[in-house]
Structure 1
Amino acid sequence: MSFPRIILLAYLLCLSQFSFGQEFFTETGYVNFLSKASLNEFNGESKQLNGLIDLDKNLLDFYIDLNTLKTGIGLRDRHMRENYLETNKYPYAEFTGKIAEGPELKNGESRKVTATGKFTIHGVERKIEVPGTIKRVNNNTVELEANFKVLLGDYKIDIPKVMFYELSEEQTVTIKAELKKK
């Protein structure tokens, strides 16, 4: 068998894996963080969450380019990226984990799940549990929604000391994503 035919055969085998598997992908998921402090509250968001869920293996992996987070105030965004998240050194946040109770879902069904895994931000990796909900919309689409808390000190992220940039130690992170088979 010639080399090009071997490559074509390998490609078709890989393609068939994706066609019948339970792997779902997104590049347009939504991330929001909420910071509450005594004098103010603000949030940041991005619609560029990337990730996948493999329902056969109960695995998931999501990451975000932290440079895409926007709070609505350009100067605050710049200070957040340069002085606190240090995105020049640590441009991504990532969660890789396993869903504890494998969701065998029929179309239209949803289920509460917990994923246990590693969350990495600012060069620090910690084991966390993330509660959420997975909904099987149809054979080609699932939706995921999850909320979890991040303590900035756990990830060696400094908290601004200037009063007008008051920031809570605890950040509430929400993700929402529609994932599709490729």
Structure 2
Amino acid sequence: MKTIYFILLISFAGLSAKAQSILLSKNATVSFFSSTVVEDIEGKSSTANSALDSKTGNIIFKVMNTSFQFKKKLMQEHFNENYMESATYPFSEFKGKIIDPVDFSKDGSYTVSVEGTLNIHGVTKICQSKLNLVIEKGIISAKSVFRIKIADYKIKVPSIVFKNIAESVEVRVSAVYQPKTI
């Protein structure tokens, strides 16, 4: 896990001279939901990492694919071995920027646009979404939903279970940020 924190910090190197503008979330949540007539599938990880630079608006989420948990153990096995190929592609990551202006020093709720790149299964695509920010007493919470097509990320679904997995999946991210401590 320390390696992931280091990678997140390196990603922001040169983006901001002051550490006070870097906020971290060590237990961010990333989940996905696939719904079909046959079956609903949901995977959730509460061990993702995220960093937010309040000066530049740069934001990153990174999650280990093997950290996703499922209601059925077999789903988790298939997810890692057959679909995500987690041994080859161990992480999924969003790197982006908040487009709309936000005063991170003022309490309030903000809905802003965020755009960047989403890397899943070794494929990087440009994406855009809305990000809901809540700032209260210096604590910043962020939530967003991305709708992705699994075929865009070259995730192959065997024909035998094609009806069980939706073509589009909803990916949800959320984080509560704390100032970086040195």
CA distance in 2, matches of 1:66, 1:156: 16
Alpha-carbon distance, 1:17 to partner? 2.5
Q: Which amino acid aligns with 2:145?
A: N
SS of equivalent to 1:162: helix
Q: Which residue of 2 aligns with 1:124?
A: 123
Q: Which residue of 2 aligns with 1:17?
A: 18
CA distance in 1, matches of 2:162, 2:88: 26
Cα pair distance change 1:165/1:86, threshold 3 Å: farther
| Contact 1:28–1:48 (8 Å) recurs in 2 | yes
**Worse-superposed segment, 31-40 or 89-98:** 31-40
Q: Tell me how many residue pairs correspond in the alignment.
A: 164
CA distance in 1, matches of 2:68, 2:34: 13
Instruction: Name the Cα RMSD after superposition.
Output: 1.7
Q: Which residue of 1 aligns with 2:108?
A: 109
Name the TM-score, length of structure 1 as normaliser. 0.85
CA distance in 1, matches of 2:104, 2:24: 17
Q: Which amino acid aligns with 1:160?
A: P
| Contact 1:29–1:48 (8 Å) recurs in 2 | yes
| Contact 2:22–2:51 (8 Å) recurs in 1 | yes
Alpha-carbon distance, 1:62 to partner? 0.9
Name the TM-score, length of structure 2 as normaliser. 0.85
Equivalent of residue 153 in structure 2, options 149, 152, 155: 155
- Same amino acid, percent of matched pairs: 24
Alpha-carbon distance, 1:109 to partner? 0.6
Alpha-carbon distance, 1:163 to partner? 4.0
Q: Which residue of 1 aligns with 2:171?
A: 173
Cα pair distance change 1:177/1:98, threshold 3 Å: same
SS of equivalent to 2:78: helix
CA distance in 1, matches of 2:81, 2:29: 22
Alpha-carbon distance, 1:30 to partner? 1.1
Q: Which amino acid aligns with 2:174?
A: K
Q: Which residue of 2 aligns with 1:76?
A: 75
Kindly provide the CA deviation profile for residues 122-175 of structure 1, in whole angstroms up to 9, marking residues without a partner as x.
110000002111111222x21001011111000000123224971001000111
Equivalent residues in 2 for 1:22-101 (5 A)? 22-101=21-100
SS of equivalent to 2:18: helix
Q: Which residue of 2 aligns with 1:142?
A: 140
CA distance in 1, matches of 2:131, 2:143: 5
**Worse-superposed segment, 97-106 or 160-169:** 160-169
Question: Which structure: larger Rg?
Answer: 1
SS of equivalent to 1:87: coil
CA distance in 2, matches of 1:179, 1:122: 27
What runs of 5+ residues in structure 1 fail to find an aligned partner? 1-15
Stretches of 4+ moved more than 4 A in 1?
none
